[in-house]
Chains A and B, each alone.
Chain A
Amino acid sequence: MSNEPSDTTLVKRVQKGDKGAFDMLVLKYQHKIVNLVMRYVRDQEQALDITQEAFIKAYRALPRFRGDSAFYTWLYRIAVNTAKNHLAAQRRRPMDIELDMQDPEQYDLHAKLKETDTPEGVTISQELQKTVEKAIQGLPDDLRTAIILRELDGMSYEEIAQTMECPVGTVRSRIFRARDAISKKVGTLIK
């Protein structure tokens, strides 16, 4: 879902006053931005507050965004600056000075969350994880293979079609049906 033309369309809609389009951008990038902010602050609630602040700053500045850089690059800089300002205000040193601009997800958020997560949060997360795994196991073979090749192996529809020896349209349909089936099982936990 990380195609730039899609971002450009959404940005233009926000610039015309469409808040729903901005919600789409939040939905798309919230995890990346939170992971990035977690490299600067220890506290999860603070990380969420900083992420919220960064998105609001971006929203206010969007009318002047000309698209010279990609939207995510621009948003990334706002989030980094917001986190740094937060640290400066608290007179704390950043936990991790060196930033890898190319791939912020490489940071080991897993380990950090294990250190700071509450027991209740861990339980809910584990339950959700188990439900998803169980739902996948319960899928018919063709649907399970299609969704695994897509989500775990990152194959394109074309590659999956070749692997499963079926038309691309069938791949598209199978992946959708797999998601639909899993969603029905885990929907309440996610919401």
Chain B
Amino acid sequence: MNETIRMQLSAYVDGELPESETELLLRRLSQDPTLRAELAEFLEIGRRMRGEPTLPGIHALRGRIAAALDNDEAMPEPADVPEPRRSFAKPIGGIAIAASVALVAILGLQQTADVGDSGTVAGEGAADAPVVEYVVPPEDSELREFMRMHGETNSAQGANGMNVRIVSFPLREDEVEAEAEDPAIEAENPASPATPDIGVE
């Protein structure tokens, strides 16, 4: 191993390595297990000189953690991995549903407006088309009486006569995320009450 790098390592242990050299050394350390082993030795010498207690078995801890991470399928995704598709799909789905409802409502209104007093229906571009006669059926007096009584009963009960009220709106982004949140993993602030490791105070 290059003696210059080892001397840099020693200075790094003491927090005395210039910033300009630190970046490169950290990159080397990340890539070179032998250099990390050397760093571990330098740190241990300092601990022994200061008489700091060391738990037996701690030297195997790094190996245990590395092995556990190697076997772990839930590896962290690199930071530059794009967001999953569902984050785009859900709002678009909501907008599509809202648009469909709005279209149905507009068509319904248009149809109502086009019904003339004469009882004829004129569709779009219907000026040149043959007129279709819409014959209003003669009302049954029994049925008319039933409708009148039904209306009076509803009024007495405070009903406004609207049988069905359809409301549609897209989910907000935060509602979507709240549903998708994974409770098994620590959050940015592990002390947050939403994390599983809280609860024993």
Contacts and interface: CB of A to CB of B under 8 A. Distances in A.
Chain A at the B interface: mostly helix, strand, loop or mixed? helix
B43 A1 contact: yes
Interface residues of B, number: 72
A97 to B, nearest CB: 9
Interface residues of A, number: 87
A27 B44 CA distance: 10
B30 A21 contact: yes
Contacts of A145: none
A148 B46 CA distance: 10
Given A1-B43, A84-B197, A113 B10 contact: no
B7 to A, nearest CB: 4
A56 interface: yes
A77 B81 CA distance: 27
Interface in B10-46: 10-16, 19, 22-23, 26-27, 29-33, 36-46
Nearest to B13: A1
Interface in A84-115: 84-85, 87-88, 105, 109-110, 113
A44 B56 contact: yes
B151 interface: no
B55 interface: yes
Contact of A129 (B33, B51, B66, B77): B51
B180 to A, nearest CB: 14
A142 interface: no
A48 B55 contact: yes
A183 B45 contact: yes
Interface in B131-190: 185-190
B48 A23 contact: no
Contacts of A15: 76, 78-79
Contact of A81 (B41, B47, B195): B195
A172 B64 CA distance: 34
Given A1-B43, A19-B69, A56-B68, A125 B56 contact: yes
B42 to A, nearest CB: 5
Interface string A121-151: 1001100110010001000000000011011
Given A23-B33, A176-B6, A179-B10, 14 more contacts: A2-B15, A21-B26, A23-B66, A24-B39, A44-B55, A52-B65, A56-B68, A56-B72, A61-B186, A61-B188, A105-B52, A117-B56, A172-B11, A179-B13
Interface of A: 1-3, 5-6, 9-10, 13-24, 26-27, 30-31, 34-35, 38, 44-45, 47-48, 51-52, 55-66, 68-69, 74, 77-78, 81-82, 84-85, 87-88, 105, 109-110, 113, 117-118, 121, 124-125, 128-129, 132, 136, 147-148, 150-152, 156-157, 172-173, 175-176, 179-180, 182-183, 186-187, 190-191
30 contacts: A1-B15, A9-B23, A13-B30, A15-B76, A23-B30, A26-B62, A27-B36, A27-B39, A27-B40, A30-B58, A31-B58, A44-B56, A44-B57, A47-B55, A56-B65, A56-B68, A60-B186, A65-B188, A69-B189, A81-B191, A110-B53, A121-B56, A129-B48, A152-B50, A176-B6, A176-B10, A186-B45, A187-B41, A190-B40, A191-B41
Interface of B: 6-7, 10-16, 19, 22-23, 26-27, 29-33, 36-59, 61-62, 64-66, 68-69, 72, 74-80, 185-191, 195-201
